[in-house]
Structure 1
């Protein structure tokens, strides 16, 4: 799924090696306090720290007196709460002013691990497995994932009018947006681009690496579930705009059910990594730093799922997915794609199909 098998065999080796290792800053916390501070468990944190340790050797950092686990502690605490707490900073001997350099360095390292810990199903068996689980949840066959624009709020100065307008999304908030694809279990399969909040969903898809691959049949005759901000294509399956019969209504209900997995996934990520609730001030030339933090949280999300770490409990309403931003000029639907969707609905959501399933 999201990770190759050798990685997870390596996890087991790591856990065995870590037992009885050198003392860590994290050892000073009891398990409950550790989770409250970092929203992760001890084995998960140990794996993350050792994985970062290997890669930090090639990253120049002026604060040579800091240990890797101290650096990781500061970064994980920031991801979990959106700010590094005084308790953590006192333990590692840092001030708030020094945190930015560390967070940027660690984010650069972990986001660079995305090709190892975030992967789209590449083999025939992997694709069949993902599609089977999605069909079991929704009844829609031959689907490889759910794609959506993931918006993350930022602060942009209204005095810089040209820049400010570009960050305003469909709800009138300033945000940056990344294109994310997940499976039915909430594993992140792809995260691409970090654009200003006003970017059209379809434009991100058309210019993304994964979008181009999927539309060119690189991944075979499969669909990806997309919301109303996307155009129906031979590989991008959108809901029926104005259903005229029960079959189309049932299809839309199934589509909404599986699309809701993305909302739950992003909600879980934002509860675990509250830095995503407010990514600070941004200019268009600083999108790379925001992109690194978003990718980092996606990597850590997948790692946390593999270690079966529950997210923090829900506090208030789960933030909904933003309404898709569409071009104002109507676009003619691809007739072949329309026929393909009609065939899918007829074969899987018609009254005849349902009556056969009940026999």
Structure 2
């Protein structure tokens, strides 16, 4: 019987021994500047992010050549930073294309769960400092936030694709963002299709409901697409007097913070210019990038000046609002 078994195994066809190739080790082989250019974060920042998501991503063993948490974070950050095809990321990181997709999904979900920790509206003890920074920025008094909407372009979804066509004829997620003078995001809504108007997203956000019920003494600056309310200040459509002109100038100088925030967010995470994923995945990736953006602001991570990401398939342009969170509310499932 032993001889028969031996002959059977000896005659097997198609059996190949698994060969594991050596993966690159970016944390060891790249300088700090090279890490910033490729991943938008330095060594200490990457280790900090890895520690945040370690409970959700840590494999119990390294069996089957499992990826470490640091490797998973690096793969995801590389995708966020350049937004190219999974195959390109796979080639540069020494893994398979399907692995990149699975890792990006897992890390994005883990980061999105941290939203309520990193995206918070100013507390009573912080409001005075926030108002002072806004006043120094543009001479606009009593301001605690600036709001705007931006579109994250996506490929045409397989279901209800018409709902995602925005006013410029492109498929997108309409994201609502509220920021402060330091360009940190204090509130977001990330769940609405691109066809939905900014004003509706704002009216149905938890931020709107909360502030309509418990009206603050401070104000949020918005553009003309949003409603004028006791706590929402919009510019005059036409400034007919010197005082109205001064108000519009102060409003514009102060509210430019949210325009800069949008620019920094999409410059640091080029993937947000175009995502080749379904809407739910796009929402999770956007939430993850929002969390990482605030981490970068709080840790004073410099924005790389190297413009090496590939061009998106279509031109990137800002269109609409971000998604909201309870003052950070979450979309059913996981995207807000």
Normalising by the residue count of structure 2, what TM-score does the alignment of the two structures yield?
Answer: 0.78
Deviation at 1:203, TM superposition (A): 0.8
Partner of 1:4: none
Q: Which residue of 1 aligns with 2:21?
A: none
Offset, 1:147: 0.9
Query: 3-state DSSP class of the match of 2:187?
Result: strand
Q: Which residue of 2 is the match for residue 35 of structure 1? A: 36
Q: Which residue of 1 aligns with 2:151?
A: 151
CA drift of 1:56 comes to 2.5
Q: CA deviation at 1:73?
A: 1.1
Within a 5 Å distance, the mapping from 1:156-171 to structure 2 comes to 156=156, 163-171=160-168
Determine the C-alpha separation between the residues in 2 that align with 1:87 and 1:164: 27
**Deviation per CA, 1:47-94, whole angstroms, max 9, x where unpaired?**
1111111332599xx987111111111111111111377786457642
Deviation at 1:116, TM superposition (A): 1.0
Match of 1:305 among 297, 320, 333: 297
Closer, same or farther in 2 for the Cα pair 1:146/1:128, shift >3 Å? Answer: same
Determine the structure 2 residue equivalent to 1:178.
175
**1:240, 1:314 → 2: CA distance?**
39
Residue 266 of structure 2 is aligned with which of 264, 270, 276? Answer: 270
Report the secondary structure of 2:160's partner residue: helix
CA shift in 2, pair 1:314/1:190, >3 Å: farther
The question of 1:78 aligning with 2:50 is answered no
Offset at 1:215? 2.0
CA distance in 2, matches of 1:232, 1:314: 41
2:293 matches 1:293: no
Tell me the residue number matched to 1:210: 207
The aligned residue for residue 20 of structure 2 is none
Q: 1:63 to 1:223 in 2, by over 3 A?
A: farther
Which range moved further: 106-115 or 207-216?
A: 207-216
CA distance in 2, matches of 1:172, 1:89: 32
**Contact conserved, 2:143 with 2:218, CA < 8 A, in 1?**
yes
Q: Is the 8 A contact 1:34 1:40 kept in 2?
A: yes
TM-score, length of structure 1 as denominator length: 0.73
CA distance in 1, matches of 2:97, 2:238: 53
Q: Map residues 110-129 of structure 1 onto 2, 5 A cutoff.
A: 110-122=111-123, 124-129=124-129
* Cα distance in structure 2, aligned partners of 1:299 and 1:171: 28
1:243 is paired with a residue whose SS is: coil
| Structure 2 residue aligned with 1:332 | none
The match for 2:328 is none
- The residue number in structure 2 matching 1:133 is 133
CA contact (8 A) 1:194 1:290 kept: no
Seen in structure 2, the aligned counterparts of structure 1 residues 278 and 320 have a Cα distance that, compared at 3 Å, is closer
3-state SS of 2:176 partner: strand
- 3-state SS of the aligned residue for 1:125? coil
Distance 1:263 1:63, change over 3 A: farther
Work out which of the residue numbers 184, 188, 194 in structure 2 matches 1:197. Answer: 194
Cα separation, 2, equivalents of 1:63 and 1:52: 21
Structure with the bigger RCO (C-alpha within 8 Å, sep 6+) is 2
User: Partners in 1 of 2:93 and 2:316 — Cα distance?
Assistant: 34
Task: From the two aligned structures, give the one with the greater helix fraction.
Answer: 1
Count of aligned pairs between the two proteins = 291
Q: Does 1:142 align with 2:147?
A: no
> Could you list the runs of 5+ residues in structure 1 that have no partner in the other structure?
1-23, 325-359
CA distance in 2, matches of 1:221, 1:39: 38
Structure 1's 252 and 322: CA in aligned 2 closer, same or farther, altered over 3 A?
farther
In the alignment, the residues of structure 2 paired with residue 100 and residue 313 of structure 1 have an alpha-carbon distance, to the nearest angstrom, of 27
Q: For 2:121, what is the secondary structure of its paired residue?
A: coil
Query: Which position in structure 2 is the counterpart of 1:341?
Result: none
